[in-house]
């Protein structure tokens, strides 16, 4: 809250880890900004990355509300993501066999739009979460881990093999923009004028040796055309999803409901002895997280405009796990941060493995980046090492939840003195 | 020990089942683990307003009985009643709803919570525990939370541990944790509280504190049923005392009678064999 | 109907699953966590054998269509898988204090590290051992069974290993201690068993058997860095089916899951439209069904 008035004071008030994370975020933002200015990073591609990062953040929030809040081990993140993606495209994409069948059956085409797709995807994800929860949530935590990994495989196999529903390995194309048929927003990208940003009027500035070690040119004209506006629309959409999910999760996390979940995570028997129906709470937490994951899938489909069974590869699940553990299990802001770091890892390793050949010359947002492709072994190695090192040396993650979580407005007095390890609720607007 | 289980049972007079106002009635409870009989037709009753002690040598089946009563194990046979409601084989939360709350021998600490947060898990039926109400009735949730917090603070003060309220729950000593656990259980507003070895591993000073608190709460109307190894503690606090041996109720009586009973001494000596 | 052929294939595949599930079950009960790196331990065994066999060659004679050199490679696969597992346990798992769930998550990281290293060295593609591809055994063909001598070698070797383990568990001091620890770790500790040593041997035996399973899987199908992780789900299904902590349960579970997997074509033969591509899914559904009806391990957890 007082970051604007007293940034130095606020900064020194943070924990070491928070300071590190803040510096990292600032440095990374600066890096991207330089990339933008120098023209090395196209604005549309930049927005695509922001969209992707927000999507991972959304997935991380979903997993955090299962694992972080309640201690549920869900290894089917990719499956719920896939359910979200396929849920919306099977209804709305022009090449979807399901859509065709429904049209043949006389369902008016206007009903088969992405918003209805979103609702269907969410409902299906919820039903599947309940179905997998019934046999496993009464058992030890590791059973859910194994069963959910199995569930992910079953869903992937169905998507891959039921060609008459999903086109199988060919995937689904012809996906409309999420806003198709909406007033104004439907035509927004093409209606917007092309804008030329000319930071240095009449030319550009080049920093090059011997001034700095390598050449850097600033100020070439940046052209913002239809792809940019489309990307901007996409990013706005995912930020709405993200903001809404974050708002909901933050509220429930600090509520008595969230407190029961945290008790279950620490000691389920205690929660049971105190009269909590832990099975019901675990189910609610599991379903809630799965819905958020499906939401991420819905967004991905309309961002990428192509969905294939490769998107359900288990590796996606473990990217998200890394994000949550890195950010700090149980911490919503940690999940946000972790989501962005994972995209940095993905794109960073892509950058290093393709070094020399990669140029961010992407003028359109329709870059097809399939999430599922077996990333290079270096990326796999990196993910593995991060998991092991974190669990070994910092299992609580970088930004563990630190504030006392009591329903806002209930605690009015600020306790005196710093309590080691737990800091005080300070109105909580700046989490 | 020379006598077999059967001859042992013949000498059991069992518990007094003819009480006036019974909160907890355990009737012919049985539990087997594989070939091992852990609870062997145990029956006893806890009268309202008492502090009933439950003692017995190691392996007498005390913890098993607690787990059976509170719904953590499912009995193979028999019946448990709380406040006249049959709760046999129910889930722990349903039994808690009937008015029975239990504590554990070794309370795990709630990571990442302050003491008062950990306390706030106690109250049952909080409106804020309903996901929907968090959004449809935030004022109601806030009101209940304020009331619960005030109540938690009051109980912490009564227990004279209010200075711990904002400490991380992981930073307090084991003995203090036991106090907090008792205090939290009180927030659940139990009619009968089952305490599983409340003073195991607790230093003598805190031990006295706990005894005092239990007595005070009992005077205010809470019924207690306590498993405890510390004889001095039980005998000072509890009346009546129920003695378990080999999964069965050996006898029941006032502390003096129990302490001098030959069968009880036999059982304890035999328990070492 | 080629039922006999399905059964024969089931037996072969079961042998591989059994080798994997025994180790997983042992580690699950004695080290007390679900080891998601177990599948990749199998992969390590397979690739070690590939390297060794490539280096030493066939060494003259052959048994059941497999050169002597291949058996040496098999032993190398077992040894290296066991060694890697023991080193991992000493360097990573042992110093950790994160509970069984934290260990489970760590083991995922370990699985990725194993697989990534193999992939860096061998690439992501499928390969084969450089052994001659055999024709099916002549005299079995009239019965509708088309299996090769290699398949027989897999079943026999697995049988020898499993019998060896049985003898070890029943008749040696170490075996008795392992069973005691699997039954009740707490009790084993108080009764003065040196649990550290037993744990070490558990890793050696579990990972060694997994390594052997990996070698045979490579012989039965092909090798790829993903082979072990892909099999992991079936192995978990086998372990849960048999009951976690029971070695003999794991054998039975492995046998059943392997059989079911290879008997899948029967469904289509009988007109049930579930193709063999759903073999893993069926194994999973069976696992969930077992969890619903007989959730082993839930009792006694409450204390």
DSSP track, C17-52: HHHHHHHHHHHHHHT-S--TTHHHHHHHHHHHHHHH
Under DSSP, the state recorded for A20 is H
Q: Checking phi first, is residue B28 left (phi over 0); if not, alpha (psi -120 to 50) or beta?
A: left
CA distance C296 to chain B (A): 13
Q: Give domain status of residue C270, yes or no.
A: no
Residue A371: the pLDDT is 36
**Closest residue of chain C to B74, computed from CA coordinates:** C299
For residue A188, the surrounding DSSP H or E stretch is: helix A188-191
pLDDT category at A425 given cuts 50, 70, 90 is very low
Question: Which candidate, B73, B187, B90, places its Cα nearest to that of B81?
Answer: B90
Q: Which of B39, B73, B89 would best serve as a mutation to test chain C binding (most C beta carbons within 10 A)?
A: B73
pLDDT band for position B201 (cuts 50, 70, 90): confident
Residue C65 lies in a domain: yes
At residue A210, the pLDDT reads: 58
Reading the block at residue A295, the tokens are 């939401």
Q: C21 lies in a domain?
A: yes
Measured distance CA(C72)–CA(C75) in Å, rounded? 5
Q: Is it the case that residue B197 has pLDDT exceeding 50?
A: yes
Average pLDDT over residues A125-142: 89
- Which position has the token pair 């599991």? A286
The angle subtended at Cα C243 by Cα A263 and Cα A151, nearest 5°, is 65
Interface of B with A in 24-63 (CB under 8 A): none
Q: Residues spanned by CATH 3.40.50.300 within chain B?
A: 1-99+190-273
Q: Which regions of chain C are under pLDDT 50?
A: 297-303
Asked if the Cβ–Cβ distance from A266 to B110 is below 8 Å, we say yes
User: Which residues numbered 177-216 in C keep a CB inside 8 Å of some CB on A?
Assistant: none
Give the DSSP H/E element, type plus range, for residue A206. Answer: strand A205-207
Kindly state the tokens that stand for B247.
């999964």
User: What single DSSP character describes residue A172?
Assistant: B
A contacts of B135 (beta carbons < 8 Å): 248, 251
B78-118 pLDDT, tens per residue? 999 999 999 999 999 999 999 999 999 887 778 788 999 99
- Model confidence at A62: pLDDT above 80: yes
Q: Does the pLDDT at position B240 exceed 70?
A: yes
Q: Could you give the number of structural domains in chain C?
A: 1
pLDDT value at residue A214: 57
DSSP state of B106: S
pTM above 0.90, yes or no: no
Q: CB under 8 Å to A270, separation ≥6 — which residues?
A: A263, B104, B107, B108, B110, B121
- Residue A15 three-state SS: coil
E strand residue ranges, chain C: 62-63, 66-67
> Which pLDDT score is estimated for A262?
94
Q: Which helix (H) or strand (E) holds A155?
A: helix A141-161
Which phi and psi (to 5°) does residue B102 adopt? -125, 160
C92: containing domain: 3-228
Q: Which residues does chain B have within 8 Å of residue A406's beta carbon, measured at their own beta carbons?
A: 116-117, 120, 145, 149
How far does the CA of residue C120 sit from the closest CA of chain A (Å)?
6
Residue B174 has pLDDT above 50, yes or no: yes
Burial of C200 (0-12, 13-18, 19+ CB in 10 A): middle
C158 inside domain: yes
* Mean pLDDT of the region A96-105: 91
Per-residue pLDDT band for B206 (boundaries 50, 70, 90) equals confident
Q: What is the pLDDT of residue B267?
A: 84
Q: What is the pLDDT of residues A225-277, one digit of tens each?
A: 788 888 888 899 999 999 999 999 999 998 999 999 999 999 999 999 999 99
| DSSP character string of C137-158 | PGGGGGGT----HHHHHHHHHH
Mean pLDDT value across chain B = 87
CB of A276 less than 8 A from some CB of B: yes
Question: At what angle are helices B138-158 and A256-266 packed, to 10 degrees?
Answer: 50
d(CA A202, CA A17): 44
The length of chain C in residues reads 303
The reported pLDDT for the residue numbered A180 is 83
Q: Which conformational region is residue C180 in: left (phi greater than 0), alpha (psi within -120 to 50 degrees), or beta? A: alpha
Is a pLDDT exceeding 50 seen at residue A97?
yes
In angstroms, the CA A62 to CA B134 distance is: 18
**Percentage above 90 pLDDT, chain B:** 55
Q: Is C119 among the domain residues?
A: yes
Evaluate if residue B20 carries a pLDDT over 90.
no
Q: Mean pLDDT score of chain A, rounded to an integer?
A: 82
Among the CATH numbers 3.40.50.720, 3.30.70.380, 3.40.50.300, 3.90.180.10, which is that of B1-99+190-273?
3.40.50.300
Instruction: State yes or no: pLDDT of A212 exceeds 60.
Output: no
CB proximity under 8 Å: B 59-98 to A: 70-72, 91-93, 96-97
Q: Could you tell me the domains of chain A?
A: 15-188+219-393 (1.10.3470)
């Amino acid at each position: 809250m007082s970051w604007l008035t007293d940034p130095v004071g606020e900064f020194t008030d943070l924990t070491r880890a928070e300071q590190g994370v803040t510096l990292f975020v600032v440095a990374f933002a600066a890096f991207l900004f330089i990339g933008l200015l120098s023209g090395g990073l196209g604005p549309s591609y930049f927005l695509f990355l922001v969209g992707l990062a927000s999507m991972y953040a959304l997935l991380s929030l979903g997993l955090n509300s299962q694992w972080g809040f309640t201690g549920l081990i869900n290894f089917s993140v990719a499956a719920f993501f896939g359910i979200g993606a396929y849920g919306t495209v099977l209804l709305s994409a022009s090449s979807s066999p399901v859509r065709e069948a429904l049209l043949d059956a006389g369902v008016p085409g206007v009903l088969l739009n992405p918003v209805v797709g979103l609702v269907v995807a969410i409902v299906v994800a919820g039903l599947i979460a309940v179905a997998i929860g019934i046999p496993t949530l009464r058992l030890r935590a590791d059973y859910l881990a194994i069963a959910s990994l199995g569930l992910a495989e079953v869903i992937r196999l169905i998507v891959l093999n039921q060609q008459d529903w999903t086109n199988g390995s060919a995937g689904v194309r012809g996906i409309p923009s999420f806003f198709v048929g909406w007033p104004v927003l439907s035509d927004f990208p093409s209606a917007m004028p092309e804008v030329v940003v000319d930071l240095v009027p009449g030319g550009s500035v080049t920093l090059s040796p011997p001034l700095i070690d390598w050449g850097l040119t600033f100020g070439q004209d940046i052209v913002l055309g239809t792809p940019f506006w489309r990307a901007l629309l996409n990013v706005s959409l995912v930020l709405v999803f993200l903001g809404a999910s974050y708002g909901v999760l933050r509220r429930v996390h600090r509520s008595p409901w969230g407190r029961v979940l945290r008790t279950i995570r620490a000691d389920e028997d205690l929660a049971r002895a105190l009269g909590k129906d832990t099975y019901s709470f675990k189910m609610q937490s599991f379903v809630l997280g799965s819905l958020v994951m499906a939401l991420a899938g819905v967004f991905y489909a309309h961002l990428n405009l192509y969905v294939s069974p490769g998107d359900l590869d288990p590796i996606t699940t473990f990217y998200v796990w890394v994000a949550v553990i890195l950010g700090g299990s149980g911490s919503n802001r940690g999940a946000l941060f972790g989501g962005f770091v994972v995209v940095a890892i993905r794109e960073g390793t892509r950058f290093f493995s393709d070094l020399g050949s990669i140029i961010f010359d992407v003028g359109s947002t329709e870059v097809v980046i399939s999430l599922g492709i077996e990333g290079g072994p270096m990326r796999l190695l990196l993910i593995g090492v991060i998991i092991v090192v974190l669990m070994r040396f910092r299992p609580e993650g970088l930004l563990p939840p630190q504030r006392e979580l009591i329903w806002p407005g209930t605690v009015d007095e600020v306790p005196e003195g710093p309590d080691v390890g737990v800091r005080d609720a300070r109105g909580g607007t700046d989490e | 020990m020379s006598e077999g289980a059967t001859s042992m049972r013949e000498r059991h007079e069992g518990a007094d089942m003819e009480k006036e106002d019974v909160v907890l009635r355990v009737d012919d409870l049985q539990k087997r683990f594989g070939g091992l009989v852990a609870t062997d037709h145990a029956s006893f009753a806890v009268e309202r307003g008492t502090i009933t002690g439950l003692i017995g040598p190691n392996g007498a089946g005390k913890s098993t009985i607690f787990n059976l009563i509170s719904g953590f194990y499912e009995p193979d046979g028999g019946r448990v009643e709380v406040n006249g409601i049959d709760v046999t084989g129910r889930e722990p939360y349903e039994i808690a709803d009937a008015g029975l709350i239990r504590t554990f021998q070794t309370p795990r600490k709630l990571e990442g919570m302050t003491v008062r947060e950990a306390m706030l898990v106690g109250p049952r039926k909080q409106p804020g525990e309903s996901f929907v109400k968090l959004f449809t009735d935030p004022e109601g949730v806030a009101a209940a939370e304020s009331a619960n917090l005030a109540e938690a603070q009051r109980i912490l003060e009564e227990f004279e541990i209010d200075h711990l309220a904002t400490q991380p729950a992981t930073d307090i000593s084991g003995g203090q944790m036991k106090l907090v656990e008792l205090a939290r259980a009180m927030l659940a507003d139990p009619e009968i509280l089952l305490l599983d070895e409340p003073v195991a591993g607790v230093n003598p000073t805190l031990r006295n504190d706990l005894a005092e608190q239990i007595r005070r709460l009992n005077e205010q109307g809470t019924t207690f049923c306590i498993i405890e190894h510390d004889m001095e503690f039980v005998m000072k606090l509890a009346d009546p005392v129920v003695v378990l041996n080999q999964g069965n109720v050996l006898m029941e009586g006032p502390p003096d009678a129990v302490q001098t009973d030959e069968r009880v001494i036999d059982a304890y000596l035999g328990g070492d064999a | 109907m080629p039922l006999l052929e399905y059964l024969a294939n089931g037996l072969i595949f079961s042998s591989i699953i059994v080798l994997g599930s025994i180790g997983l079950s042992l580690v699950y009960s004695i080290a007390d966590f679900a080891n998601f790196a177990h599948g990749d331990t199998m992969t390590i065994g397979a690739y070690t054998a590939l390297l060794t066999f490539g280096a030493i060659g066939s060494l003259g004679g052959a048994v059941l269509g497999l050169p002597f050199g291949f058996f040496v490679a098999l032993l190398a696969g077992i040894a290296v898988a066991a060694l890697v597992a023991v080193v991992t346990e000493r360097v990573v798992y042992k110093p950790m204090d994160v509970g069984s769930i934290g260990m489970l998550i760590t083991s995922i990281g370990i699985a990725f590290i194993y697989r990534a290293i193999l992939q860096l060295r061998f690439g992501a593609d499928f390969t084969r051992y450089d052994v001659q591809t055999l024709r099916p055994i002549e005299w079995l063909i009239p019965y509708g069974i088309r299996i090769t001598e290699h398949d027989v070698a897999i079943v026999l070797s697995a049988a020898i290993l499993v019998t060896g383990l049985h003898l070890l568990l029943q008749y040696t001091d170490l075996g008795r201690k392992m069973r005691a620890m699997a039954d009740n770790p707490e009790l084993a500790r108080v009764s003065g068993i040196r649990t550290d040593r037993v744990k070490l041997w558990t890793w050696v035996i579990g990972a060694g058997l997994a390594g052997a399973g990996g070698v045979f899987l490579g012989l039965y199908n092909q090798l790829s860095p993903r082979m072990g992780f892909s099999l992991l789900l079936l192995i978990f299904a086998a372990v849960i089916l048999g009951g976690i902590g029971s070695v003999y349960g794991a054998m039975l579970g492995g046998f059943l899951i392997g059989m079911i997997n290879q008997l899948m074509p029967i469904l289509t033969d009988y007109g049930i439209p579930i193709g063999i591509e759903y073999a893993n899914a069926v194994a999973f559904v069976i696992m969930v069904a077992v969890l619903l009806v007989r959730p082993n391990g839930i009792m006694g957890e409450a204390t």
